[in-house]
């Protein structure tokens, strides 16, 4: 990697315009972000088989997705035992904070 950054004289070269994914950025003024993490997940996971754990997480996150739809929120990401969603995006809502609380 360092070889890619330095030219043949050992001097830093200008970075190439490479992008992993195209990024779309839009400002939103009224948004709530919800981050939900399962307390005690590691302990719980150690007492389950992989199949049981996947089933538990699938059921839980399916319920979160249902709640998100019901409360006009949008899931952003599931990462391990963490669920991320936003309220007030892509459609602005003056009730974004209340919608995130009802999640």
Contacts 24+ apart (CB under 8 A), 16-21: none
In 26-77, where does DSSP find H-type helix? 41-46, 50-70
Q: Indicate if 38 belongs to the active site.
A: yes
Question: Which candidate, 87, 101, 71, places its Cα nearest to that of 33?
Answer: 87
Whether the bond between 92 and the residue before it is cis, its omega within 30 degrees of 0, is no
Q: Indicate if 33 belongs to the active site.
A: no
Please pick, among 23, 25, 29, 38, the residue that the annotation labels catalytic: 38
Query: What is the CB neighbour count within 10 angstroms for residue 2?
Result: 5
Q: β-strand 32-37 against 82-87: which pairing, if any?
A: antiparallel
Please pick, among 4, 66, 81, 101, the residue that the annotation labels catalytic: 81
Q: Indicate if 66 belongs to the active site.
A: no
Please pick, among 5, 33, 37, 66, the residue that the annotation labels catalytic: 37
List the catalytic residues.
37-38, 81
């Amino acid at each position: 990697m360092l070889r890619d950054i330095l030219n043949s004289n050992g001097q830093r070269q200008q970075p190439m315009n490479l992008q992993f994914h195209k990024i779309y950025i839009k400002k939103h003024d009224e948004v709530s972000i919800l981050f939900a993490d399962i307390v005690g997940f590691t302990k719980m996971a150690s007492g389950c088989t992989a199949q049981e754990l996947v089933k538990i997480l699938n059921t839980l996150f399916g319920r979160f997705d249902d709640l998100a739809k019901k409360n006009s929120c949008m899931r952003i990401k599931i990462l391990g035992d963490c669920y991320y969603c936003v309220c007030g995006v892509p459609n602005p809502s003056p009730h974004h904070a209340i919608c995130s609380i009802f999640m």
